[in-house]
Amino acid sequence: MTSPRKRILTGIRPTGALHLGHYAGALENWVRLQKEYECFFLIADYQVSDYADDIDRVRDSVWEVALDWLAVGLDPEGSHYVIESMVPQHAELMVHLSWFIPLGRLQRNPTLKAEMADLDIGKKGTPVGFFIYPVMQVANILMPRANLVPVGEDQLPHIEMTREIARKFNRDFGDVFPEPEPLVGRVPRLVGVDGQAKMSKSLDNAIYLKDDAETVRRKVMGMYTDPTRLRATDPGHVEGNPVFMYHDAFNPDTAEVDDLKERYVRGAVGDVEVKKKLVVAINNLLEPIRERRAHVEARPQLVREALAAGSRAGYAAAEATIIAVRNALRLDYLERGMPEVRR
């Protein structure tokens, strides 16, 4: 008998369509690893407390995410597209795991701290559900007993916490969970078109995988570059320049990129030419993705079936884990029967 494939768990929040940051930070790895691993791709619709006043957007985005996944080539036959809330065992496991996570452990989590600060600046304040989303993520990863978690760099603190909890649980209650490894993508954290630290759905600084060629052109031509450079003849900076970061990430013609960089620092090429070449590179990358998206968009039944079958598979894996957890915690009251009455 062949041994079962090792497992991947990874996911995305249904808060909008997917962008180039998702692609270079995460999706590329998922596509590459989907044959080697049994993959559970999660649409994390429990983790949208900052969108609680816009559930319509969440509902639409579940479909957007599934369309983008199909468009980039994640095969729903070999992998599982799981809607988190269709597997309510996630909520149960989160409750059990929360017993073992000190409050201070969450308060110190750097990703959570930064995201909560953004919410506070936006005057929304932090819902309790947001504060505990990293615990939900621990439950997500441990649920299918995943071995590998391919994500962008911002997720690393949550995976470190997952490893700690797995170790503690196994030590105290018996071997239930593998200790999962993180895997960060080719571009750990893609900057936004506005030069901000992270391209993000929530910051409105993204190039979406579904953007048409003209939208890509407009966004790239308006991109933030080297603020110290006023004329094309001024020597420019390549380091830390978002336009060149994107060339490095998405232009496969390295000779062209090297030539542009060399001329840029000499003051021998204008921003317009550098950006025009970037438009071509990104549109070349996105064109086949757009074509596949159009193909599946015309076939909603395909998308629906991917979500239904994937969520059923997620449910089956979750039920097995939850039983193991209840047994390990000795919460299987009826099976154990009444103890001798203590006096």
Binding interface with ligand ATP (CB under 6 A): 12-13, 15, 21-22, 25-26, 151-152, 154-155, 187, 189-190, 198-202
CB-wise, 87 or 328, nearer to ligand ATP? 87
Closest CB 175 distance from ligand ATP, rounded Å: 28
CA separation (Å) from 144 to 38, 46, 178, 180, 205? 10, 17, 10, 11, 34
CB-wise, 134 or 236, nearer to ligand ATP? 134
CB-wise, 163 or 264, nearer to ligand ATP? 163
CB-wise, 28 or 92, nearer to ligand ATP? 28
Closest CB 252 distance from ligand ATP, rounded Å: 19
**Spatial CA neighbour of 111 closest among 164, 65, 174, 157:** 157
In angstroms, how far apart are the furthest CA atoms of the chain?
A: 91
Closest CB 336 distance from ligand ATP, rounded Å: 40
Closest CB 208 distance from ligand ATP, rounded Å: 11
Closest CB 8 distance from ligand ATP, rounded Å: 12
Buried/exposed code over 304-328 (b: 16+ C-beta within 10 A; e: otherwise): eebbeebbebbeebbeebbebbeeb
CB-wise, 12 or 138, nearer to ligand ATP? 12
Closest CB 138 distance from ligand ATP, rounded Å: 15
Closest CB 190 distance from ligand ATP, rounded Å: 4
Closest CB 17 distance from ligand ATP, rounded Å: 10
CB-wise, 71 or 199, nearer to ligand ATP? 199
CB-wise, 106 or 193, nearer to ligand ATP? 193
| Cβ atoms of 193 and 199 closer than 8 Å | yes
CB-wise, 22 or 261, nearer to ligand ATP? 22
Closest CB 248 distance from ligand ATP, rounded Å: 14
CB-wise, 26 or 209, nearer to ligand ATP? 26
